[in-house]
Every structure is written in C-alpha cells, then in structure tokens.
Structure 1
Amino acid sequence: MRVAIYSPEVYTYGSMLIGGILRRSYKVNLIRKFDRVILLKSDVVIFSLYSTLHIIDKKIREIIDFLKKAKKRVYVAGPVSMYPEIILNELNVDGVILGEGEIITPKILEGDKEGLAYKEDGEIIINYSKEKPDLNHPLPLIPKDIGEQNIRGANVYIETHRGCLGNCTFCQVPKFFGKNIRSRDLDLIVREVKEFKKRGVKRVAISGGTGSLYNFKKSLDKDKFIELLEKLSSILGNKNLSVPDMRVDYVDEEILEAIKKYTIGWVFFGLESGSDKVLKDMKKGTNREKNLNAIKLAKDCGVKVGGSFIVGYPTEKEIDYLLTKDFIAEAELDDIFVSIAEPIPKTELCDLIIKTPKEENLVFKKYNPYLSVAEYRCYDLLVYGSSFTLKPLPPQICLNEAKKQGEDIRKITNLIYKYKKYLI
C-alpha cells in the first residue's frame, strides 16, 4: 500500500512522526505542496491539518474532491481532529483520525475503526481510542528539503514532551494531549536531532507548549531540562537552538541562565494581557505583577524577552486594552506578537464566543468603517508595542496583519456559529 501524507505549507512534527511510523509497513511520501503524481500513485492520502482555516480552504477542498474522484481513501488528522463533526460535514473524506495517531493510524489503514470518526448512513460515528502512545517512537520521516523550511526562524520544531498543566481558555493542548506531562527519553531526542542535522537542518526549536516542563513529574526537573539544552547545544551550537515558548510561572534564575548559555538567548512568554481581570477570565494562572517580575528576571539574567498578547477577547473592555498598553510600556520587551482571540472549537473561548451576541463580538463590532474593534486594537498594539522593541514595525505592515487576522477569525467564527450544536 502506498500512503501520502499532505501537511499544507509546513512539515509539522506530527506529520513527520506518523510518516516515520508508517514507513515500517508502507511506502510513504510526505509532501507540503500539491504533487499530482505522488497523490495519484497513492492508495491512501492523510491530510495533516493544524489550523481550523484548513477546513474551509478552497484549495484543500479541491484537492480532496480530486482525490475522491480518483477513488482514493482520504483521511484527516492533526489538531483539527478535536472537532470531527465539523470536518465530516465540510469535507468529503472517509474519516477523521482522532487525537494522537501513533497507535491508531496503522490500524485504521488496515480497516480498524477504533480511533476513527466517520459517516455511516448519514450519521456521524465517533470512536475514540483510550490508548496513549509511547512517545519513544521511531525516527520521523524527514523530507529532503526540510532545511529550506522556516517556522519563526527555525527549520523544525521538535517534540520533547506532551501535555500542559495550564487551564488557558483559548488553548486546546490540555484537551488534546491531557494535563499530565509525558516526556521522551533524552537519548532518543539527541539521536533525532543528530538525524535532522544530517538532513540539512540548522536551527531547531524545542516545542511541547512550555519547554521547561520537560520531565516534569510532581515538580520541575531542572537538571533534566538543563541537560537537554546542553546536549542539543553541543550538536547544533547555541546560536541554532531555541526554546521559544515558556510560561512565566515555570522559569527561575537557574533555567534562564541555562537558556542564556545553551540557546539563542531568547524566551517568549504568553503574557496575553495587562489586565488582571482579563488574565483571570482567560484562566492564565498568573497576573500583571508576576508577568513583570518574570520579564525582569529574564533580563537580569541577560536573556532577551518576547511577549505575545491577545486582543479582542470577549470580556476585554476599553480599560483592559489600555492597561495592556501601559503594561507594554513598563515591560520594555525585545519583541512582541499580537493575535486576535481565535475561538478554536472545543475550547472554553469557543463556548464563550458562541454565547456572545454577534453584534457584541469584537471581531465583528465596528471601530470605524474600515476596521473592527479587534482589528483596530491589534493594529494599534502592534504599532505601539513594537516601538519599544528592537524592531519597530511600519504602520502599513501592522495594518495588513490586523486586517488579515480579522478576516481569518471572522471565517472561523462563522464556522463555529454554523456548527454550534456540536460544540456546546
């Protein structure tokens, strides 16, 4: 059997992982761009989709319809499998591979339906699997052109662990992977990074949601995390290793000193808001003071700090937004990212959006004839926030980014309104 895995635009770690597992039994091709020859030669095509926008992407729809006319078996997998009802109503596929796919994907290809969502006589059948995979899996299937890929400065994000201790209302990670931290063996991570380097990868980013939670059991295992950084840095060099995503409540001086020594010397905190009320609504588990203290600690350790913020959260008032601007002025970040609140289906934020009248939804509510309230705040915060950083952004770039985000979030929001009966 020939299998193609299609990961649109980006070779995600998950697509490479499943490719590595399947190639033990099948001929597998991993692609990120449409390849008519590879797809037509395949018996099964798995779409590894990581964004809700993929479900309503015209090009992806056309490719799936093309494959179905060619009598191919087509499945969808990836983070979007959290909401199979939407996929099965929107896309002409044979099924949705649910959750973590290491164990169930090979079985599904042989006809097993455990871990699969599908339609039967017009009814949606959802068969969740209770099995949790061992994260110490075979080497991923690494594409020949992986070195050409650029994701926020890295060629690839690797996985060191799964799970998250947080409760953030906008995040699907705890529901997808669970709240218990499951970590991979260090020796296998090292072996994998060496293989990526052989295949042309220069810059590696450590993923997993919060890097310092690697090997977390009942508390932080700082020694293991620092050993991880030290060993990977010895392979790649500290200028080619990053740990981009960290929580302010899981760093301390020792961890930050290791980040300074063994990586590019940056951390990116999910700060989200300068308003304690909004942070509480988001269930961030932190507050303005803790965020500022973590930023100061990192800077004192010689680590540069990037911060991400969310605007347009349903409970965000004008005063909350102004508090965020005040926070940014006080924090003096080295870089800034701003996102309009995205209602990922099956998250608490999605539930809140569904219950919010459309006319009160800040991504639809007009600030002026050209921008919604959420778009204006995104634009304004990008211009204002970046003026304090190392790389101030031109207003036109900020405007284009805000309008693009607003357009995308409206598409996603309209999709969840359409399928709200499956989501609440």
Structure 2
Amino acid sequence: MRVVIYTPKIYTYGAMLIGGILKEKGYKVHLSKNFDKTLFLKADVVIYSLYSTLHILDDNIKNSIKYLKNIKKKLKIYVAGCVSTYPEIILNEMDVDGVIIGEGELITPKILEGDNEGLAYKEGDEIVINYPKEKPELNHPIPLIPNDIGKQNIRGANVYIETHRGCLGNCTFCQVPKFFGKSIRSREIDDIIREVLEFKKRGAKRIAISGGTGSLYNFKKSVDKNKFLELLEKLSSILGKNNISVPDMRVDYVDEEILEGIKNYTIGWVFFGLESGSNKILRDMKKGTNREKNLNAIKLAKDCGVKVAGSFIVGYPTETEKDYLLTKDFIVDAELDDIFVSIAEPIPTTELAKLVVDTPKEENPIFIEYKNNMSLAEYRCFDLYLHAEMWKSNPRILTKQLVNIYLNDAKQQGEDIRKITNLLFKYKEYIKRY
C-alpha cells in the first residue's frame, strides 16, 4: 500500500514519526509539505496531517481534497494532527473518509488495515467516533526524515524533537494536557540520542527539544534534574551547544542547576510563558504562577547568565484596560532579552475555546473596533510589541520597517483568530461538549 503524508508548508515531527512507523511496517510512505498532484494520485491513502485550526478553513486544502476525490474515487483520505480533537467540525467542513483521533502511533496502522479504533467518520448524516483505547509508548522507530530537513526553519531550528508528552499545568489556552494528558511520559535517553544522530546524518544542524515544558523530562513525583541535564549534555556533545535549544519552559520548573545546564549545554536561552503582568488574568488563565514568581524566575535566569525571552497573550476575553497596562508595567520591570506577543487563540478543546463561544462578540477584544482600522486585540498586540522594544535589555531603533513588521503581524493574527472564532461559533454545540 502506498501512503502519502501531507503536512502543509513544514515537516512536522508527528508526521515524520508516523511515516517512520508505517515504513517499518512495510508501507511505501512519502512525506510531502507541498501538494503534488502526481505524487498524491499514485497513493492508495493520503493522510492530511494538520497542525492549525486555520487548515480546516483553508480553501487550497479543501480544494485539493475535492480534486483528489474527483479524479481517484477509491483513494482514501484521512485527517490527523492536533485538529483531530474536534472531529465533528472536520467531518462537516471537509470531504474526507475519516479523522484519526489523538496520538496516531498505534491506531494509524490499524486504520490502514481496516480497524476503526481511533477513527471518526460519517455514516450517512450520523458521525461515528471511536476513541482510542490506549496511549502509545514513546520509544519508536526512526522517523521518516526528508532529505531537505536541513533547509527547514521553525523558530530557528530545523526540527523540534519530542522528549516527553503531557503537562502538569492547567493553562486555559493550551491543548497539551487535553491532547496528551496530565501525566508525564518520557522517552529513554538512548532512543532520543539515536534519533538525533539520524537527523544530523540527514542534514539537520539545529534541533530544539520539546514536550511542553523541557525540564519536565523524566518527571515522576518531582523534576529529575540529573536526567534532564544528562540529556542536554549528550545532545550538546553531538551537535554543539550552539545548535541545541530548549524553547519552552515554565517559571515554576526551573532552578539554578537547570539554568546552569541550559547555559552550558544549549544556546543559552530560556523562553518563559509569562502571558500577562496582571495577577487577575494569570488566575483567569489558570497559569499557576503570578507576577512576583515570573519576575523572580527572570532574575534567577539572568543571574545564571541565561538570556530570557518571554511570551505574552493579549486580547484574552476577560482582559481589561487595567490588566493590559499592568502587562506594560511588567515588561518595564522585566527587561527581557526578547519578546513574543500573541492574540488569545481559542484552540480546540481548551477552556478558552469554551469561554470565547460564551462571550458575546461585541465584548470580545478581537471583534471590538478600536482605532486605525484595528480591533482592540490587534491594537494591544501591536502596541505591546512597540513598548517592549524600548524596554528590552538591548533596545532596537524603531525603524519604519520594524514598525510595519509588527503592524502586519498584529493584523494577520487578528484576521486569523476572527476566522477561527467564527468557525467555533458555527459549531458552538460541539464546543460545549468537550
């Protein structure tokens, strides 16, 4: 059987992982980030591995499915990826044979063999959802690595590899605990090293390790610092410290030892999800932290010689002008080395998605008209970027080009999130079930 796994624009780790598993089982598998008619029509099965809710609305993706269905009637087309948490929406919006639900290592081969475990599909007007019965082990065959992986750039890395799954947090905007669970499942170090060596062999130069929160690797009843530091040291010996990053960390799971390890074995940056300078909004987001803890973690990292980037979310449905001004004040106190600003996105199955559909549009900052043809959320995103530039550890001159970059980013985020929000309102009855 010939299988094509399609990941729009980038090779995702999950798609490469499933490709490697299917290849080991004897399938002829091809991974593609571009829609190639000739390649796709030669397949028996095409799996659309989608990683953004926007993909459900993408006319190019929808039209490619229609094209394949019209030309090759017997071709099976499935959707997989993190969007699979709302199978009802996908099956109503896209003409596919089914949705592969959740973690696909165990169930994808079964589905290709005719087993419906882990598959959602339509029977007439009825939607049938068969949830997976178990979660997979994380040690697995080498992923299907494309020959041009070294040309890929995702936030500075060629690829994000997985060290563990699950998160102990309760953040209302995050899908990880719902998708992977709240218990931590970690891979063996030898298995990770074997994979990194193969990525290096195939041309990958810079690798980011991920799993939600890097230091939760091998977490049982507490953070296993020794295992985490051992992993960093071994990865650094393979690729060099300047080619390893640990992109995402929580302020409540770092200490001096962990930060020293990040300094010694990686590019020397931590990326904290700070989200807001308002304790009220942090409580609304269920971050489990507060302004003081965030500032203390930033200071500790700087004292250890580690650079600190912070991510912030604006336009949360409960965010007031006072909350936003507190975030601006926090940025002044923090003096971060870099900053990322996002408008609150209602990701499938999160508490935020439910809050958004329960919030009248006229009260949601993403729909409130503000100034300069921008919504309130867009304006805050743009304004916070400009404000942060003045208070970074090394401020940059606000050139016209830089201002336009931030302006365009804020407007694009706003346009995208309005599309997603309107989609969720269309299927409001499904959103409330999850």
TM-score, reference length from structure 2 = 0.97
What is residue 40 of structure 2 aligned with on the other side?
39
Partner-residue secondary structure (3-state), 1:409: helix
Per-residue displacement from partner, 1:134-191 (whole Å, max 9, x unpaired)?
A: 1001000000110000000000000000000000000110000000000001001000
Partners of 1:131 and 1:64 lie apart in 2 by 30
Partner letter of residue 420 of structure 1? K
Partners of 1:237 and 1:139 lie apart in 2 by 22
Give the conservation status (yes or no) of the 8 Å contact 1:168–1:283: yes
Partners of 1:334 and 1:345 lie apart in 2 by 31
Give the conservation status (yes or no) of the 8 Å contact 1:245–1:270: yes
Partners of 2:42 and 2:132 lie apart in 1 by 30
Per-residue displacement from partner, 1:165-220 (whole Å, max 9, x unpaired)?
A: 00000011000000000000100100000000000000000010100000000000
Pick one of 144, 148, 151 that aligns with 1:145. 148
- 1:245-394 alignment runs, 5 A limit: 245-368=248-371, 370-389=373-392, 390=394, 392=396, 394=402
Matched, 1:62 2:70: no
Partners of 1:251 and 1:388 lie apart in 2 by 24
Kindly state the Cα deviation for residue 345 of structure 1 after the two structures are TM-superposed: 2.1
Partners of 2:172 and 2:58 lie apart in 1 by 26
Give the conservation status (yes or no) of the 8 Å contact 1:39–1:45: yes
Matched, 1:416 2:416: no
Partners of 2:159 and 2:413 lie apart in 1 by 24
Partners of 2:69 and 2:256 lie apart in 1 by 55
Q: CA RMSD in A?
A: 0.8
Per-residue displacement from partner, 1:330-350 (whole Å, max 9, x unpaired)?
A: 000000000000011211001
Partners of 1:333 and 1:243 lie apart in 2 by 17
Kindly state the Cα deviation for residue 368 of structure 1 after the two structures are TM-superposed: 1.9
Per-residue displacement from partner, 1:253-310 (whole Å, max 9, x unpaired)?
A: 0000000000000000000000000000000000000000000000000000000000
Query: Matched residue pairs, number?
Result: 424
TM-score, reference length from structure 1 = 0.99
Pick one of 106, 127, 133 that aligns with 1:130. 133
Partner-residue secondary structure (3-state), 2:47: strand
Structure 2: gaps (5+ residues): none
Partner letter of residue 56 of structure 1? L
Partners of 1:60 and 1:207 lie apart in 2 by 28
What is residue 5 of structure 2 aligned with on the other side?
5
Kindly state the Cα deviation for residue 388 of structure 1 after the two structures are TM-superposed: 2.3
What is residue 165 of structure 1 aligned with on the other side?
168
Partner-residue secondary structure (3-state), 1:245: coil
Partners of 1:342 and 1:92 lie apart in 2 by 26
Structure 1: gaps (5+ residues): none
Partner-residue secondary structure (3-state), 2:192: helix
Partners of 1:386 and 1:107 lie apart in 2 by 51
Partner letter of residue 28 of structure 2? K
Kindly state the Cα deviation for residue 369 of structure 1 after the two structures are TM-superposed: 5.2
Kindly state the Cα deviation for residue 391 of structure 1 after the two structures are TM-superposed: 6.1
Give the conservation status (yes or no) of the 8 Å contact 1:335–1:391: no
Partners of 1:121 and 1:150 lie apart in 2 by 43
Partner letter of residue 9 of structure 1? K
What is residue 99 of structure 2 aligned with on the other side?
96
Partner letter of residue 411 of structure 2? K
Partner-residue secondary structure (3-state), 2:347: coil
